[in-house]
Chain A
Amino acid sequence: MTGATLLATTGPEITAIEASLLVFVVITAIVTALARDVLAAVIVFGAYSLGMAALYTFYRAPDVAMTEAAISAGVTTILLLLTLAKTSRIDHEIAFESVNLPAAGAVGFLFVGLLLTMADIPAVGSPDAPVWSNADVTQWYIAETYAETGVENTVMAVLAAFRGFDTFGEAVVVFGAGVAALIVLHREVFA
C-alpha cells in the first residue's frame, strides 16, 4: 500500500477531535523540550500526558489511557513538582531555549525516516492488521479468555493469569523502586 492510498483510506476517518488532539500533543511535546523554566516544562508535560491519555481512549486502549492519566499526568507531575519545590526558581529573561541545530537536524532525519515507514503500517482499526488478525495470539486470547479465566477484560487476564510471572516481576520492580528511594535519600521510614 503506498502512502497516497493510505492517506486516501484513513483521511476521512480522522475526526476533528483526533486531529486537534494530535496537534495538541505535538505542540505540548515541543514546548516541554524547549521551555527554559522547569516549572513550566513540568506543567506542560502533564498536559501532554493528558492529551496522550485522551488519544489512547480514542484509539480503543482504555487500559493504557487510564495508566497514562493516573501515572504520567497525575503521579509523575506531582512527584516532579514536589522535587522542584525543594529547589530555588530562576527567573529567565527568555521563555524558550534556542534550538540546537545539529540536534534538530538529527531529529529531523529520524522523523523523515519514520515517516517513510508509515506507508507499510496498517490503518487504525483495520481488520487486516497483523496484531489483530493472527489466529494464534490475539484471536486466541479474545476467544478463550472468558472460558479459561472467567473475566471479561482480556488485558487483565493476560496481566494476571497468562503472563502472571511477568507481572510479578513488574510488581517487584515497583517495590524495589520504593526501597531504592529510601536508600538513595538515606532514610529508614517512608512517613
Chain B
Amino acid sequence: MSDDSPGPAESETQSRTNRLDSQTRQGTPYTESQVIMPTVKVVAPFAFTYGLFVTFHGGGSPGGGFQGGAIMAAVVFMIAFAFGIEATREWLANTVIVALAVGGTLVFAGIGLVTIARGGAFLQYELLPVPLAEIDRVTYGMEAVEILGIAAIVSGVLMGLFFVLASGFAQENDDSDAGDTVATDGGER
C-alpha cells in the first residue's frame, strides 16, 4: 500500500495514522494503487504457475505440497492486496476455502485408512487399489497425498487465516462503535 499523501512531515504522519485506523468496509484498509494493480496482474499468473510446478514436481525437484500450497495461497494474498480484501473475499467463496482444507484432510486420511483396510500399515502405498505397477502405486500415492492432501490443506487454511484475520472479531460488525473499540485497543499498546 503506497502512501499517496504528500505534505509536511506532521500532516503526513497524521493522515497515515488515520488511514490505518479507517474502518471502511469491515476495517480492512485499502488504497487503490496504479502501480500495485498492474504489477499483480502481470506477476500473479506466473506465481500461480510456479506454485503449481512446485506442487506437482515435488518428486523430482525441491518443493512439494507444503511449499506449493503456500505459494498458491500467497497469490491470493497478492490479489487481495491489489484489488481489495473484500472484493477478493466475495470472488473466492467460503465454500472453496472450506472444501480445500476439509477435502485435503479427508483425502490424506482416506489414503492412509484404505491401506489399513486392505490389511497393511497407515499409508502403505503399494496396497492402494489402483491398476498400476507396485512402484507406480507408491509414486502416485505419494503424489496424491502431496497434491490433493497437503497442498490443498495448506493453501486452504492459509487463505482462511488471511480472510478471518482481515475481518477480525465477529462482534465488531454488530457493534456500532467498532472503530472506537479498535482505536482504544491499539492505543493501550
Which residues on A are within 8 Å of B, measured CB to CB?
38, 62-63, 65-67, 70-71, 74-75, 78-79, 82-83, 85-91, 148-153, 155-157, 159-161, 164-165, 167-168, 171-172, 174-175, 177-178, 181-182, 185-187, 189-191
Contacts and interface: CB of A to CB of B under 8 A. Distances in A.
State the main secondary structure of chain A at its contact with B. Answer: helix
Given A70-B71, A187-B164, A191-B93, 20 more contacts: A62-B63, A63-B67, A67-B66, A75-B73, A82-B165, A83-B165, A88-B17, A89-B16, A150-B139, A151-B139, A153-B61, A153-B62, A156-B59, A157-B59, A160-B146, A165-B122, A178-B101, A181-B161, A185-B167, A187-B167
Given A149-B138, A150-B135, A178 B70 contact: no
Given A67-B70, A165-B123, A75 B59 contact: no
B63 A63 contact: yes
A178 B161 contact: yes
A74 B17 contact: no
A145 to B, nearest CB: 10
30 contacts: A66-B62, A74-B77, A75-B74, A78-B162, A85-B20, A85-B28, A86-B168, A89-B16, A149-B139, A149-B142, A150-B138, A151-B60, A151-B139, A153-B58, A153-B64, A156-B63, A161-B125, A164-B112, A165-B112, A167-B150, A171-B108, A177-B157, A177-B161, A178-B160, A178-B161, A181-B164, A186-B170, A190-B98, A190-B163, A191-B97
B183 interface: yes
State the main secondary structure of chain B at its contact with A. Answer: helix
B182 interface: yes
B40 interface: no
B66 A88 contact: no
Give me the 7 closest cross-chain CB pairs, A-B, nearest first.
A151-B59, A87-B186, A88-B186, A62-B62, A150-B139, A190-B160, A178-B157
Nearest to A83: B165
B173 to A, nearest CB: 10
B62 A164 contact: no
A47 B23 CA distance: 29
Contact of A168 (B70, B109, B135): B109
B28 A191 contact: no
A191 B139 CA distance: 35
